[in-house]
A and B are shown apart, each in its own frame.
Chain A
């Protein structure tokens, strides 16, 4: 079953076609990676799919239902969650509370109950706290639960964002460069986390520059260049695609290309 489909998406910024007729089709339970040189439109594609941008053209379907033009919070309530390339942490809140916010779509209290602290709110808080702790433990941050989120180091913040998204129990999780800026050990941890997520049946859409991670973990890889689809296939197929090699050599120099095919 296709859990997430985008059909001929397009968006322009100041006349430039940032995404130009890109279609993707993601099967449930897969790891689907989107790669491409810098500026090829990877993050823009994620922003379209998660409702942050509204496409100029094209349509998006989530679990068979057309969701084009829906706001991010509406999509989130339908089970789509994501992390951000440049972190979006609630830095004034504790680590645990950050993740508790992730439970928001499962919380069922009204404003009056919240103001009066009715027993339902106390129960709700307890349930939310427990679920958040579980999510924190999954990314290895259980020990830091009470720390202010602003005090964590970069690698931990990356995992905190994943925990927060996981707490919302998504069916589809979009990860925007989870390993960027991470050392090899941290990247390895992210690799484990993603595998455990997939094991639960959550579909993962991964935008990532670290080719080793992408090639190890992906079921399918979609290559973008200048806002268009360059290729799509299994890691093996993409790895041996001449155009992909050229795109990386041409735009990025030999280093990344070498990196991509080591």
Chain B
């Protein structure tokens, strides 16, 4: 098979990403690296979902951590207060997030530009406020412990176990996103991004498509939030907060809006950076803000698309 034919295989990016997940641990000197890897894949999963919304459909959400919070608290509240199995709560959380996205998205997705930005930002804060105030259910600002996930009698614990679960789920989420983009729905979403009016006169029900992708991206975030809670064993309302949402947006922007692979890169950079640079801790917020600013001013395309363009130019 020629190199060109190989490059045109539709699933190549997914195969590459799966290979990364499998090969990476060969280079891990300690269990600590499994932990970082698991966190990268968990965030990357949420970022893929947000990227579908922002990068492809062109709709901004500054409140996506709200869905992360719903997913996270589902696997905390369900088992603790109702004795429900964690895996079931993960699914219920995703469905709940989808339902909330439906209810919230229907009115606010009609809005454009900064109006949509503010509405989603307000939504995210609303979730954080509820999680903070309903202390009887959520433990309030101090958060609550999350019982470990048990699958078929196997109690999932340890960073390596979570590395594989998060990695596999990410590859799955990546694949679904890839499929979506090469489908009628995906084309309609990309069309909406460039010209809503043209999309409409071609028969696309713009409001419905936006709502669909908003719900899907909320479910991605919800599953990631559930994983995060189960993995850490502890959850606080901060997960749903303003900074959480901005971090997700920064990951999208960093990796490249509209680049599904970029989602992984963006998540990796912002998860790994604080681990590598101890100085990052004190300056975490300042650097986060700076990254968003610099990328939006000078590198609006993000890392992966910029590198791709540079490589294409170099090959010529």
A binding-site residues for B, Cβ under 8 Å: 50, 52, 71-73, 75-77, 81-82, 84, 88-93, 97, 100-102, 104-105, 107, 109, 111, 113-117, 121, 124-125, 128, 164-165, 168
Contacts and interface: CB of A to CB of B under 8 A. Distances in A.
B194 A76 contact: no
B200 A101 contact: no
Given A73-B205, A101-B191, A109-B184, A114 B179 contact: yes
Contacts of B188: 101, 104
Given A76-B203, A81-B201, A101-B199, A125 B183 contact: yes
Contact of B190 (A77, A93, A114, A121): A93
A117 B177 CA distance: 10
Contacts, number: 108
Contacts of A113: 183
B20 interface: no
B193 interface: yes
List 3 A-B pairs, minimum CB-CB distance, nearest first.
Answer: A105-B203, A76-B203, A114-B183
A109 B187 CA distance: 12
Interface residues of B, number: 28
A100 B204 CA distance: 12
Residue of A90, A97, A121 contacting most chain B CB atoms (<10 Å): A90
B195 A89 contact: yes
B283 to A, nearest CB: 35
B311 to A, nearest CB: 17
Given A52-B197, A111-B212, A104 B203 contact: yes
Interface string B207-220: 00000100010000
Contacts of B216: 111, 115
15 contacts: A73-B199, A88-B195, A89-B195, A90-B194, A101-B199, A105-B202, A109-B183, A109-B184, A109-B185, A111-B212, A114-B186, A115-B176, A115-B183, A121-B184, A125-B182
A101 B187 contact: yes
Contacts of A109: 183-185
A77 B304 CA distance: 38
A93 B198 contact: no
A115 B212 contact: no
A73 B203 contact: yes
Contact of B187 (A52, A77, A84, A97): A97
Main secondary structure of the interface of B (DSSP, over half): helix
B176 A116 contact: yes
B176 A91 contact: no
Interface string B63-85: 00000000000000000000000
Contacts of B191: 90, 93, 101, 104
Contacts of B184: 104, 107, 109, 114, 121, 124-125, 128
Given A114-B184, A117-B183, A88 B203 contact: no
Nearest to B56: A92
B206 interface: yes
Contacts of A71: 200
Contacts of A107: 184
A104 B187 contact: yes
Given A101-B187, A104-B203, 9 more contacts: A73-B203, A81-B202, A88-B195, A89-B194, A111-B212, A113-B183, A115-B180, A115-B216, A117-B182
